[in-house]
Amino acid sequence: MGAGHHGAVSVIIDIAGLPHDRVRVKPSPLAELGMALHAFTESRHHPRLAAWVTATTARLDPHLADRLEEARFLWGATFSDVFTAFAGLPAEEEAQPAGTLAGELDLLDRVPDEDFVAALLESVCDPSYGAYGTRIPSPLTDAVVRRRTLTLAAAQGRPLVDFTQRVLADPGWAREWFRGLMTECEGAFFADTWQRVGPGLAADARHTAELLRRRGLGAALAHASPAITYDEETGRITVDKLTAARTAAARRGLTLVPTRLGSPHLMVLHRHGWQPVLHYPVASQDPPPGPTVEELTLRMEALAHPVRMRMCRLLSRSAYSTIGLAEAHGLSAPEISRHLAVLKRAGLVTSSRRGRYVLHELDLELVARLGTDFVGHLLR
């Protein structure tokens, strides 16, 4: 998929002779997790997710955040094919996403070592992998590609060289490393994220599959993206991207995978020998209306005070009582109460009773949206 960022012209998928029942539409939890991680790293690509990215990354355990930073080559400028591993299953197996992240990681275990390692290191090996439909040998089995991979890794820093050497020496370790990292992400944030976006993706997949059944492949692909066209006479799907690539689906089938977090990206997996995959963005529902000018002014003025800014710093990390805030800032409880009233009137702080105490928390997502809301008003 990484090749989707390079080259010119378009991606062509030849599906001549492919029965329409071999075209599947199904969400992929692993691919959506990859898109979430991509949004963390390339937040400029996803301004609509700015508040979610800010709030989610702020809550990450520092150790996990460091590990994700080290692994960003998997989902930054290039998006590794390991996130659509179902497409790389041996030809005799039915290649489609599993319904759970654990199930998809199990599918990844069935991808041969040579393909797994090549996919894992593709952004290191050659960013234009397979751009013309040819098979790039795996660095696990080809000495020339192995040397080139290590040379390119060296240009990106010692940590990546060490990682690449370890992957090449022990693919089993690499599998456990990847599974562990993805599982940790699930516990930290993705289980909640998938619970929120998964039903909408499943609904879009059902709608697209129904279009395919009732009106044909052209209608289904047009729904997925206006950048995808289908020529029934030639049996070719053309994806309008700044990429020159060609692949065939006649033997393996074709899978369409909807993504909410990946919007606006339309991605095409065209790895030689793997099933082609179209990873298409699902249009977001209309966002809730932004704040009025008066509400926005209240929020910005509430934060434009040094004491309230320091209070927000504490409240962004944990819930505090009024007395706890007073002790932390060396102020009286009535003074803190007055500042809290300003923050609450602006909607920046929420309060809830827990036992004998009323605890206050910062609405981190709302604070994260302030910049976006401000720009929206500037450009309205």
* Boundary residue ending a domain (261, 281, 301): 281
On whether both 174 and 263 belong to a single domain, the answer is yes
**Nearest-CA neighbor of 312 among 269, 371, 364?**
364
* 365 assigned to some structural domain: yes
- Whether the CB-CB separation of 328 and 317 falls below 8 Å is answered with no
Q: Which domain holds residue 299?
A: 293-379
CB 121 within 8 A of CB 71: no
Are residue 95 and residue 215 in the same domain, yes or no? yes
* pLDDT at residue 80 in the model: 92
Among candidate residues 89, 106, 86, 108, the one with its CA nearest the CA of residue 97: 86
Give dist(CA 153, CA 67) in Å, integer. 18
Q: Is 324 inside any structural domain?
A: yes
Q: Do 119 and 66 belong together in one domain?
A: yes
DSSP state of 347: T
How confident is the chain (380 residues) per 10-residue block, as mean pLDDT?
46 91 95 96 86 91 95 88 92 85 96 93 63 68 90 87 95 98 97 94 96 95 92 94 81 92 90 92 62 84 94 89 92 95 94 84 87 64
Residue at 288 is within a domain: no
Backbone angles phi, psi at 351, to 5 degrees: -130, 145
**357 alpha carbon, distance to own chain's centre:** 39
313 and 208 in a common domain: no
One domain, residues 227 and 327:
no
pTM for this prediction: 0.73
Same domain as 337, residue 233: no
The alpha helices in the chain, defined as continuous H runs, are 29-41, 50-58, 62-70, 101-109, 113-120, 122-125, 143-154, 158-169, 171-185, 191-215, 217-224, 293-303, 306-315, 322-329, 333-345, 364-379
Q: How far apart are the first and last CA of the chain?
A: 36
**CB 115, CB 88: distance < 8 Å:** yes
The reply to whether 143 and 263 lie within a common domain is yes
Looking at the structure, tell me whether residues 212 and 124 fall in a common domain.
Answer: yes
pLDDT of residue 287: 46
For residues 9 and 239, the answer to whether their CB atoms sit within 8 Å is no
Are residue 197 and residue 240 in the same domain, yes or no?
yes
pLDDT of residue 6: 35
Number of domains in the chain: 2
